[in-house]
């Protein structure tokens, strides 16, 4: 039997384990990327591991999230990352060079290679046939040091795209349709592979919109074949030598197949506050719009921007709308300027932002109270914009641009013919904002400003684990609930004690104080707990507050790995109805915890005593032997040091 695209890459990079679904394997990582809001922690951890120079083919640090610099904190982080990367063999992408995923696919991604990034949207590079996976900073630090990356072998879900997109339907609508079908947890434990006759007409930037937002499915990654379209894109970037052909075998087999007829797809929107809350744009047509944000790693390519500029040309942004546009990279930004399209945006009244994440992560441009904000981003989680009362809708750049002019959500079909933009045959290439590492590490002093604080490290698992239930949460709790990030908090990503005071506050403002009062304990959640970002802070902040275990109906992949990496027990109810019996401040105990965690490897349940209610219930801890050892050691850092 033949192999799918991702199975081929996994086999090429396999270091240990069996390629059977669900079993743990380890793979070699060719490239790593970090961004600044997870990067400080990743490099502090890399330093703690003690490897002098990275062992990957390419490692790069981007500065794109924390760029407002309303105090010294962001700039301190930038300087720390710039100097620590210079010392240890890592390239540094200066602020102003663009959003990590957009720059990486333009300039560095290579079909057939593996990429591990400390950002959940790392799968964007699946748009050129790279196996690109998002992970916590510590996993990336280990990979930089030449260590393997462990994952459980995912199922392969094939999404067949048939036919051609109708006018005004876009790549964004394809991924919104996939989200509508599969939901925000439908991709957990799966790699999504795209196939079908529709691929030939999808450019790399369009494919990248789809693989980018595959993160919202909870998927391990998403990938397109590396074909003639990929070759043309890499050639236009002056990188044709990086191209290889990478197609699935004809007799490859898939665990699941979904077929989408592109010709009937209409413009779609995700309503607040979940990316899978998808409706057709016509269903919300007429809704008054206060803000339109165009950009983010999902939709900030040159093609997206040129389409937006063509729609705005000669028009004026509606007086009740604030339109902000953040091009994805310096390449995009400078080509927009050279072509004159930037002038069309500016003269229509768009507020042009630097090429960075910006509003997508609440770094500025928080909308007004009760606002309706139309965004081209990938996430519309509650309060993520920085305004908890705002309603954020996710749409294509085209729908966003039309609404910016009309002031209401508008079916673009009623607006006239869509702009038709061809991919340029060559992009303007200038990598002058990439700083190369030093040849001689001794020449470099790592500069640590006062914002760089030590991070919490757990202790080995104790014989008995006990504590109170500190909070009982519902389904789909995101990392934006657990560790909110906005312009006020993102500057403190290197200061976990400070951040801990905001842990879970969007769901329960009293949580940090309660956790401190009782000296830590347990978090109880529903299904898909921890979906969203790769931020390790969603594990580090609970660790700082003394959280010992999280008991849920199910976990999102990256967050569960981050809990294990920090020595926090990830437990799931064996009988989901036990969830209903959990009460705030119940006193729980896991007796013989070390033995029970080792036994969990072979599928034995872990028994928890509820002393307050006087009964015991079973939970599962779905871990490999290696993960059990990590939990026993009190986290991956302790484990790595023990095995160094």
**Residues within window 104-123 making contact with ligand SF4, judged by CB under 6 A:** 119, 121
Nearest to 590 by CA among 462, 480, 503, 475: 462
| Binding-site partner at residue 99 among ligand SF4, ligand MIC, none, CB < 5 to 8 Å by type | ligand SF4
Q: Which residue has the tokens 């990503």?
A: 493
Residue 514 in contact with residue 521, Cβ under 8 Å? no
| Shortest Cβ 125–ligand SF4 spacing (Å) | 13
Does position 361 interact with ligand MIC (CB under 6 A)? The reply is yes
Cis (ω within 30 of 0) for the bond into 273?
yes
C-alpha distances in angstroms, 122 versus 119, 159, 221, 364? 6, 20, 8, 23
Residue 311 in contact with residue 405, Cβ under 8 Å? yes
Nearest to 7 by CA among 195, 194, 249, 250: 249
Does position 308 interact with ligand SF4 (CB under 6 A)? The reply is no
Token pair in block for residue 48: 């703690």
Does position 534 interact with ligand MIC (CB under 6 A)? The reply is yes
Does position 375 interact with ligand MIC (CB under 6 A)? The reply is no
**From the CB of residue 348, how many other CB atoms can be counted at a distance below 10 Å?**
21
> Which range of residues in 109-117, 198-206, 241-249, 354-362 is near ligand SF4 by CB under 6 A?
354-362
H helix count then E strand count, the chain? 20, 27
| Shortest Cβ 284–ligand SF4 spacing (Å) | 23
Residue 423 in contact with residue 203, Cβ under 8 Å? yes
The one among 4, 378, 486, 552 contacting ligand SF4 by CB under 6 A = 378
The mark string for 552-591 relative to ligand MIC (x by CB under 6 A, - otherwise) is ----------------------------------------
| Shortest Cβ 378–ligand SF4 spacing (Å) | 5
| Shortest Cβ 511–ligand MIC spacing (Å) | 19
Residue 180 in contact with residue 268, Cβ under 8 Å? yes
Nearest to 643 by CA among 147, 59, 217: 147
> Which range of residues in 117-125, 266-274, 402-410, 580-588 is near ligand MIC by CB under 6 A?
117-125
Bridge partners, 270 (sequence order): 278, 394
CB-wise, 356 or 470, nearer to ligand SF4? 356
**Residues within window 495-554 making contact with ligand SF4, judged by CB under 6 A:** none
**Residues within window 35-64 making contact with ligand MIC, judged by CB under 6 A:** 37-38
Does position 385 interact with ligand SF4 (CB under 6 A)? The reply is no
Distance CA 428, CA 161 (A): 31
| Shortest Cβ 36–ligand MIC spacing (Å) | 8
Does position 76 interact with ligand SF4 (CB under 6 A)? The reply is no
| Shortest Cβ 328–ligand SF4 spacing (Å) | 8
What is the DSSP pairing of strand 391-394 with strand 372-375? parallel
CB-wise, 109 or 532, nearer to ligand MIC? 532
CA angle 109, 110, 115 (to 5 degrees): 65
Does position 99 interact with ligand SF4 (CB under 6 A)? The reply is yes
DSSP E strand stretches across 4-43:
14-16, 24-27, 31-34
Total interface residues for ligand MIC by CB under 6 A:
13
| Binding-site partner at residue 86 among ligand SF4, ligand MIC, none, CB < 5 to 8 Å by type | none
The one among 8, 535, 548, 557 contacting ligand MIC by CB under 6 A = 535
Total interface residues for ligand SF4 by CB under 6 A:
11
Residue 210 in contact with residue 337, Cβ under 8 Å? no
Nearest to 39 by CA among 110, 72, 88: 88
- Which parts of this chain interact with ligand MIC (CB under 6 A)? 37-38, 65, 119-121, 134, 361, 485, 532-535
- Which parts of this chain interact with ligand SF4 (CB under 6 A)? 65, 99, 119, 121, 296-297, 357, 360-361, 377-378
């Amino acid at each position: 039997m033949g192999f799918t695209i991702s199975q081929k890459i996994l086999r090429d990079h396999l270091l240990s384990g069996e390629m059977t679904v669900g079993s743990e394997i380890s793979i070699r990582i060719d490239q790593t990327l970090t961004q600044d809001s997870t990067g400080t922690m990743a490099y502090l951890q890399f330093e703690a591991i003690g490897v002098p120079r990275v062992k990957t083919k390419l490692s790069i640090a981007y500065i794109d999230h924390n760029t407002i610099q309303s105090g010294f904190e962001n700039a301190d982080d930038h300087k720390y990352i710039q100097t620590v990367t210079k010392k240890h063999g890592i390239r540094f992408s200066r602020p102003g060079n663009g959003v990590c995923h957009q720059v990486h696919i333009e300039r560095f991604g290579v079909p057939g290679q593996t990429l591990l990034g400390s950002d959940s949207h790392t799968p964007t590079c699946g748009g050129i046939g790279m196996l690109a996976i998002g992970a916590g900073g510590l996993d990336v630090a280990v990979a930089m040091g030449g260590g393997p990356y462990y994952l459980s072998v995912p199922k392969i879900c094939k999404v067949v795209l048939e036919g051609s997109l109708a006018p005004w339907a876009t790549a964004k609508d394809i991924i919104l349709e996939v989200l509508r079908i599969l939901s925000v947890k439908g991709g957990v434990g799966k790699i999504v592979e795209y196939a079908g006759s529709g691929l030939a007409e999808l450019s790399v930037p369009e494919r990248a919109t789809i693989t980018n937002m595959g993160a919202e499915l909870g998927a391990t990654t998403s990938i397109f074949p590396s074909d003639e379209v990929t070759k043309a894109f890499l050639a236009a970037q002056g990188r044709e030598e990086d191209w290889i052909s990478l197609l699935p075998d004809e007799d490859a087999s898939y665990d699941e197949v979904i077929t989408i007829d592109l010709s009937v797809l209409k413009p779609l929107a995700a309503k607040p506050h979940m990316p899978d809350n998808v409706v057709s744009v016509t269903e919300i047509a007429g809704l008054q719009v206060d803000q339109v944000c165009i950009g983010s790693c999902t939709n900030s390519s040159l093609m997206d921007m040129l389409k937006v500029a063509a729609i705005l040309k000669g028009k004026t942004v509606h007086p009740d709308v604030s339109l902000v546009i953040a091009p994805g990279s310096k390449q995009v930004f400078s080509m927009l300027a050279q072509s004159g399209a930037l002038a069309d945006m500016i003269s229509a009244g768009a507020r042009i932002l630097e090429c960075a994440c910006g509003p997508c992560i609440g770094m500025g441009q928080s909308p007004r109270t009760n606002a309706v904000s139309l965004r081209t981003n990938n996430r519309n989680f509650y309060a993520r914009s920085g305004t908890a009362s705002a309603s954020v809708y996710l749409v294509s750049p085209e729908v966003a641009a039309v609404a910016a002019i009309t002031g209401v959500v508008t079916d673009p079909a009623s607006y006239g013919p869509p702009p038709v933009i061809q991919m340029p045959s060559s992009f303007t290439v200038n990598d002058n904002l990439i700083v190369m590492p030093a040849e001689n590490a001794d020449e470099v002093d790592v500069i640590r400003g006062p914002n760089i604080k030590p991070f919490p490290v757990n202790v080995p698992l104790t014989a008995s684990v006990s504590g109170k239930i500190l909070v009982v949460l519902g389904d789909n709790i995101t990392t934006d609930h657990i560790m909110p990030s906005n312009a006020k908090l993102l500057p403190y990503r290197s200061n976990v004690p400070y951040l801990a005071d905001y842990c879970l506050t969007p769901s329960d403002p009293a949580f940090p104080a309660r956790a401190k009062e009782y000296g830590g304990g347990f978090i109880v959640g529903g299904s898909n707990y921890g979906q969203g970002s790769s931020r390790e802070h969603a594990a580090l902040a609970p660790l700082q507050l003394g959280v010992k275990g999280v008991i849920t109906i199910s976990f999102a992949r990256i967050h569960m790995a981050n809990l294990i990496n920090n020595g926090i027990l990830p437990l799931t109810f064996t009988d989901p109805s036990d969830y209903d019996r959990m009460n705030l401040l119940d006193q729980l105990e896991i007796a013989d915890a070390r033995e029970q965690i080792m036994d969990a490897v072979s599928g034995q349940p872990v028994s928890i005593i509820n002393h307050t209610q006087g009964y015991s219930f079973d939970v599962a801890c779905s871990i490999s032997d290696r993960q059990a050892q990590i939990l026993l050691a009190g986290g991956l850092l302790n484990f790595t040091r023990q095995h160094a």
